[in-house]
Structure 1
Amino acid sequence: MSSAGVLSFAQQGWELVLAKVKWSVVYLDAACAESLHWSCGSSRLLEAVKGPACNLREFEPQAVGGGAQQPRAVFVLSCLLKGRTVDTLQDIIRRSHFQYCVVVTAVSHAVHLTANHVPAAAAAELEGQQPVFEQLEEKLCEWMGNMNYTAEVLHVPLLLAPAAPHLAFTPAFATLFPLLPRDVHLLNSARPDKRRLGNVSEVDATALTPELLLHIRCLVSGLSSLCEHLGVREECFAVGALSRVIATDLANYAPAKNRKKTAPGRASVVFVDRTLDLTGAVGHHGDNLVEKIISVLPQLPGHTNDVMVNMAELTAVQTVEENQNVIAPGCLAQSNDTSAKALWEALLNTKHKEAVMEVRRHLVEAASRENLPIRMSMGRVTPGQLMSYIQLFKNNLRALTNHCGLLQLGMATVQTLKHPQTAKWDNFLAFERLLLQSLGDSTIAVVLNQLLPMIKSPSQRTSDDYSPEELLTLLIYIYSVAGEFTLDKDLREAEDRVKKALAHVLSEELELSPLLQKITGHSHGIH
């Protein structure tokens, strides 16, 4: 499958959107904003708008409406035009002065028919027609207050956020997670009159909830559009229960069947449940710099696959009122910087040591091109050395502008190498190897008892001890590599001790991390 074709699929979709946004207030949801971020960047959208930056807004119920001088609006959404999404559209439009509205959805009209419970036979007869979109266009005019105003609803498959030529994310489906054994009980309770499922492997489409099936169909819609763009008829393979459902749905998707009759090329699509390799997500065996950057730097708000890079040392702006540094964070996505894109791809594909040397090489070459007074030094690359090269660009607006993307990746590298969590990486790796050896020699109950003394309250912990979030990571690692085991008396007692120790530690935390806040529903410990 062509990497250029995948990138052009994302960029072509955004070109269709950009053609609609001139002089408009543009509302994006988080998933579409992330796709834009990696595809062509928000600056490209602002150029197409030809208006001030405030014309770009987040799609949410509390979003600011359009004023009297803002008659045009474009809504770019990753989801079905149904339920809360339509309610939010109505709220924003009614409190605005729009006379021209365009709504772009990443979900095809065929899936909207499914969401509105239109039978497959009736949907087939509507080929070429879009009654759901047409009805919404009428509603948009009604909400704008004049049926003679202009409204347009169209489908653009904004599925991908292409991070590299051979790597793309699907932000709208970041929460789509494979089924777990406990989910079988929930599925059985929702279908008391049907055959009971024995385990996850018995799950098929008929056993899933309508909401989950619809979410899968939205993903299938986007994948089918991608295959259409690439001109291929796909052969689907699956590893895992939920992957099998997705692969089957793509194979049976009506628009896909029609496409396959004329597609000139062929492609194999392999779906794999993420639960089959949880150790890859929580383990510290990787020797990749990007993996460490994403692990230790704070997440870019609203994004699932990018981080915030502190750029204040290079471009600090003092505010008179608050006397504090104000600067937008840097990030990893550099869609418009050729040199930075080359470095980013090198970081993704090389080991840690080689990647750090690549950062140094790119910084040295950039400084030389700008005739900056660089002092070469060979040998081991250190954070201080990289920072000294980066500091050469400070207060040089032209050099900063020319190499902004490269400097953001350089700063991300420096901040990662200096981060305390990076120093813990090798400690994690050593302990994980010890756990793996222990699991081979003894039971999981013995391993949990080994972990128990490491669960320490905030008053007892030092910088070398594990935080509650890190302990949860180790627990996921233990259970992921343990394989199947029997829940006997010893294991129950060991698990109870670990649970009590974790609960005690969490109750004493002054402030919980964002992840722990999601898990517990509290922002701090419960005293």
Structure 2
Amino acid sequence: MSLSVKEFSKAAWVEIYNRIIGAVVFLDDPSAECLHWDGGLFNLLSGGAVAVKSLSPFEYCKSEHKKALFITQATTTQLSTIKEIIQNSDFTHCLLASTVSLDVVYLELNKDKDVSDIISAGKAPMECAKMLESMLLQWINKVQSAVEVIHVPISTISLTSNVFVMPPYSPVYPLYEGKLIPTTPSVDLYTLSESERSQVRRLVSSLNSMLEGMNLKEEVYYMGTHSSILAGVLENSPVCLARRKLCSSPASLLLIDRTLDLCGCASPAPECLLDKVLGVLPRLPGHCTDVTVDMTPLCEASVTSVTDDLQLSPGCLYHANDKYCVQTFEQMINKTQKEVMFDLYNKLSKIDVQRSPGPKTLLKVTPQSMEKIINATKGNYDIIEQHLGLLQQALAVAATLRAPQHAQLELAASLQRQVAQNIAASREATSVGRQLSLLIKSRKERGLPLERLLALLVSVYSLAGDEVPFPRQHEEALVETLSVAIFEDHKSVLLSSAEGRVVSPEQCAAVAADVLSKLKDIAKMRRILNRYNTVLKPTETGAGHEYRGVLQQLVDDLVDSARPELVDLRHRNHGVKDLLRSGLNILTSKKSRKHPMDAPTVILFIIGGVSLDECRRLHRAVITSGVDANVIIGSTKIVTSVDAMRDVLRL
């Protein structure tokens, strides 16, 4: 029997809760985000922790605090931070919980040494624990002291029963020495830079821990160059090989490169309400999956800046200990905006102190009708305390739909539809190149920030692919227009300018040229595919074309009862032994080929991010097909259109 992702995550936190009595707990940002989705800070404080702090070299503890628990990814930088904290405190008992498998940490601690024999013999975790314990004892520097090093796989958060993300790996993206396309056709782990190799090993480590916790023995499939590297490490790592001998529940793990189709996540037209909220409201500090909610409508504090003013803590969307809030959060992914608004209003009306019209008498729920009830609770702290989670979610939705950025999203969405229709109808981009330049020039009159138009460019080039070439003179004009726009808006577009650097017109021209080069690379990404090399498909009516993403096409084929051949989905087999076991039948019989849907559990994992709109569409395709398999969608993170643009253009 296998566990769910949520049960696996909860089991990992139980390991922590069993060790926190009397300890000061230090967490890095990804671990703090995972804690938020398990119940938050009060889980630690009510479980016996004396204090909770961020993992920062500026933190230390009072002399009466003798026990510390560090929850960390155990990178070299974080270990240096732990050393600073210990040396500035007076601990006698230190526990280090590494969220990454100790064999990976051991490899990084010995990066200049040949430790292949120790790793292949399976001794790396034990040796790593000894090394880290020795380091902790040295930093404590007391005769009477105790240390312990353990591996606790804290890396996943479960958004719904079939969607999960891994916050520690939100920076992971399919890149090769910083490029979208590798310079060599034969790519393996050692083609990557040292930091990219470390990211791959760490991600594989956490996937392996998740599969072990869920008791899954997987067949690995992949689509995309970067995914092939991960599949190779997952298939051949000694730790993964040992785990597969012990796990008993069959599963299929499909690894997919995000860069094969950026149109789906870079599109500014999400139907999913939660995608809109994530695209409008600022992220909760240190988080990549939850947002900051302005709480001033409920309180009487005078706050000038929601994110920087410390008078008032920001609210958030997810409240793990409130089942009604968890239900609403899932509805924000799976249901329409109208349905979510009516549900929120219905819940708010039950706490309404002014007796506003009931949900049945309203023809339409608006942000204003929700805000009327919310504002009536201002200062009534008994009511606020009882319904705090619901009020925060309602505030987030109302603020999103009333924000200027929401109008920008709607405008960008209509522009994208126009451009997509032009490409689909004419199958050429002569008019589109001119249209994009004009949009950038008129952005201020239209009220569109440049970053949203850059996201539109990414979406259009990914949509067009190799099929629809852009005329050279139009691309030259586009670069010139972009160069001027970037110079004018560099403070909001170029992250480097936020550091106080002077930005010149020549630098902006170079950035614009680099943007075009990356856009051309984006258009080439599906060259390696055969069946899914186009995302412009004829409509069911036969009139015109529509966007059908690579992920959508793959899932449609997976659940198709006819079982079409999945030529683009490669399978990591077990080598010569499988060939010998199958005999000549592997060459003559199609029935001997394995299919991902043969397993009762199928995990579709997208490297580089996924939008919640895509998750909803994919889940709907699985549900309507009637297949028995449990299909789980996972990714390194949830992305909005602007997130997707920044990931690929690296501005």
- Give CA deviations for 1:309-358 in whole Å, capped at 9, x if unaligned: 11111023359xxxx89311111121111111111111111122222222
Query: Is residue 312–residue 325 contact of structure 1 (8 Å, CA) maintained in 2?
Result: no
**CA distance in 2: counterparts of 1:152 and 1:57, whole angstroms:** 20
Aligned-residue offset at 1:446: 3.7
Amino acid at match of 1:234: E
Q: 2:64 aligns with which of 65, 69, 72?
A: 69
| Partner residue in 1 for 2:514 | none
Per the alignment, residue 101 of structure 2 pairs with 108
Q: Distance in 2 between matches of 1:176 and 1:270?
A: 17
The 1-side partners of 2:340 and 2:180 are apart by 44
CA contact (8 A) 2:69 2:95 kept: yes
Write out aligned runs for 1:284-433 (5 A).
284-317=268-301, 326-365=311-350, 367=351, 373-376=355-358, 377-433=361-417
Distance 2:177 2:87 in 1: 46
Q: Does 2:83 match 1:90?
A: yes
Aligned pair in 2 of structure 1 residues 76, 7: CA closer, same or farther (>3 Å)? same
Superposed displacement of residue 40, structure 1:
2.0
Alignment gaps of 5+ in structure 1: 189-196
Q: Please give the secondary structure, in 1, of the residue aligned with 2:261.
A: helix
- Partner SS state of residue 461, structure 1: helix
* Partner in structure 1 of residue 437 of structure 2: 452
| Distance across 2 between alignment mates of 1:72 and 1:92 | 12
Contact 1:141 1:148 in 2 (8 A): no
**Residue of structure 2 in register with 1:175 after alignment:** 171
Change beyond 3 A, Cα 1:161–1:439? same
After TM superposition, the score normalised by the length of structure 2 is 0.70
In 2, distance between residues paired with 1:325 and 1:417? 26
Residues 1:88 and 1:465: Cα distance change in structure 2 (over 3 Å) = same
Equivalent position amino acid for 2:495 in 1: K
Larger RCO: Structure 1 or Structure 2 (Cα < 8 Å, ≥ 6 residues apart)? 2
Q: Bigger shift: 11-20 or 265-274?
A: 11-20
Which string of whole-angstrom CA distances, capped at 9 and with x for unpartnered residues, describes residues 5-53 of structure 1?
21121111112112222232222111111111112212212222443xx
SS at match of 1:64: coil
Is 1:141 matched with 2:137?
Answer: yes
Q: Residue 518 in 1 paired to residue 527 in 2?
A: no
Q: Deviations over 1:252-308 (max 9, x none)?
A: 222222222232211111111111221111213331111111111111121111111
Q: 1:474 aligns with which of 440, 451, 456?
A: 456
Q: Note the alpha carbon deviations across 1:186-242, whole angstroms, 9 max, x for none.
A: x65xxxxxxxx24xxx42334223432232121111111111111121111111111
| Number of positions where the alignment pairs a residue of Structure 1 with one of Structure 2 | 493
Distance 1:344 1:182, change over 3 A: closer
CA displacement at 1:414 relative to structure 2? 0.4
The alignment's TM-score, normalised by the length of structure 1, stands at 0.86
Output the aligned Cα RMSD. 2.7
User: What per-residue deviation string (whole Å, max 9, x for no partner) do you get for residues 402-449 of structure 1?
Assistant: 211111111111001111222233322221122112224264454222
Q: Which moved more, 1:167-176 or 1:476-485?
A: 476-485
Range moving further from structure 2, 391-400 or 246-255: 391-400
Match of 2:35 in 1: 36
Shift of 1:76: 0.8
Say if 1:390 and 1:244 are closer, same or farther in 2 by CA, change over 3 A: same
Q: 1:508 to 1:294 in 2, by over 3 A?
A: same
1:59-94 deviation per Cα after TM superposition (whole angstroms, max 9, x unaligned) = 133x221121222221111x2x35222222212211
Going from structure 1 to structure 2, the CA distance change for 1:136 and 1:182 (only over 3 Å counts) comes to closer
Please, which runs of 5 or more residues in structure 2 have no aligned partner?
304-308, 505-651
Alpha-carbon distance in structure 2 between the residues aligned to 1:184 and 1:328: 40
- Tell me the equivalent position of 1:507: 487
State the distance in 1 between where 2:21 and 2:246 align. Answer: 36
Rounded to whole Å, the distance in 1 between the matches of 2:227 and 2:387 is 42
1:316–1:325 contact (8 Å) kept in structure 2: no
**Alpha-carbon spacing, 1:121–1:340, altered in 2? closer, same or farther (3 Å):** same
Instruction: Give yes or no for contact 1:163–1:333 (8 Å, CA) kept in 2.
Output: no
Secondary structure of residue in 2 paired with 1:455: helix
* CA gap 1:398/1:526 in 2 versus in 1, 3 angstroms: same
On the 8 A contact 2:10/2:38 being kept in 1, the answer is yes
- Report sequence identity in percent: 27
**Residues 178 and 274 of structure 1 are in contact (CA less than 8 Å); yes or no, is this contact kept in structure 2?**
yes
